[in-house]
Chain A
C-alpha cells in the first residue's frame, strides 16, 4: 500500500513537473502571465512570445485578455499581427498618458498638419508672386495682410476642425 502511494505520488509529481515544464518552457507570454497551460493552438502564442512579457502585460492592463481575444477573433488571421501591434501601441500610449492616450497624439499631429497647410498656402502665394501674380492678401514683402479663410482638405475620417479640436461622434 505504501508502495502504491509512493507510485501515485511519483506519478503525480512527474505529471506536475511535466505541466510546469510545459508552462515554463513552451508557454507564450500571455499564458505565463495568466498562469495557465499554453496549448498548441493558443490564440495568443503567435503574437506574444515568451521573451516579450511586457508586451502582453501592457495590453492586458488596458484592454484585458478576453477583450483582446474577442478583437482577434473578429479579424482575419492575416491581419492579426497588425491588430496586436496596434493594440500594443495604443496600450503603451494610454499607459504613458492615461488622460488622453492616442487622442492626444492625434490632436497634436492634426495641429501640426494645420500649421503646415497654412505655411503651404503662404509659400504657394509667394511663389505665384514671383511669376507675376501677387495675391491681394500679401503685402509688398510677401507678408500676410489679412488671414485668408482656410479650407483644409478632408484628409481622414476624424471629426477634427481646422484648429485641431476633435468632435466626438
Chain B
C-alpha cells in the first residue's frame, strides 16, 4: 500500500492481504487490475475467502507481468498439452501390456 503513500484507515480492505512489509504484492495487482477492481472483487466475497482471492490475484498479476501476452493462460495451455501427451503415452504402454499379457496367456 506504500504505492498510495497515505495513512491507511483501520477499515482498509487491502491491509490484511497486502501488508506494508511486502510492497511488491500490492504493486503487482495494482499494475494489472487497479486498486479499485481489486477492492470490488474482495468486497464481493465473504471475509473468509478474501485471503485466497488476494493470493490468486497476486499470482495471476505476477504471471501477467512475466508474460504480458499470455499471463497464466500460457501455463494452462502448456498443462493441457502435457496432460494430452501423458495420456497418449499411457495408452500406448497399456496397449503393449495388453498385447504382451495375451501373448503370455496363449
Contacts and interface: CB of A to CB of B under 8 A. Distances in A.
A79 B93 CA distance: 39
State the main secondary structure of chain A at its contact with B. helix
A103 B32 contact: no
A26 interface: no
Interface in B10-64: 31-34, 36-37, 41, 44-45, 49, 52-53, 55-60, 62, 64
Contact of A105 (B31, B70, B76, B97): B76
Contacts of A61: 37
Given A62-B33, A67-B32, A83-B70, 12 more contacts: A63-B33, A71-B68, A75-B68, A90-B60, A105-B76, A113-B86, A120-B93, A123-B97, A130-B97, A156-B75, A156-B79, A158-B75
Interface of B: 31-34, 36-37, 41, 44-45, 49, 52-53, 55-60, 62, 64, 66, 68-76, 78-80, 82-83, 86-87, 89-90, 93-94, 96-97, 100-101, 104
